Amino acid sequence: METTTLPATNAAPFEFEVELASSRQVIGVPAGQSILHALRAAGIEVDSSCESGTCGTCQTGYLSGTPDHQDFVLDVDEQERFLMPCVSRCKSPRMVLDL
68 domain-assigned: yes
70 domain-assigned: yes
Task: Please report which helix (H) or strand (E) contains residue 76, including its range.
Answer: helix 76-79
9 domain-assigned: no
For residue 30, give the nearest of 43, 48, 12 by alpha carbon: 12
CB-based contact 96:19 (threshold 8 Å): yes
69 domain-assigned: yes
The 10s digit of each residue's pLDDT in 49-70 is: 999 999 999 999 999 999 999 9
Greatest Cα pair distance in the chain: 35
At residue 32, the pLDDT reads 87
The total of structural domains in the chain comes to: 1
11 domain-assigned: no
The 10s digit of each residue's pLDDT in 6-50 is: 444 444 568 999 999 999 999 999 998 999 999 999 999 999 999
Degrees, nearest 5: CA angle 28-62-98: 85
- The residue count of the chain comes to 99
First to last CA, the chain: 22
Q: What is the CATH number of the domain that holds 60?
A: 3.10.20.30
36 domain-assigned: yes
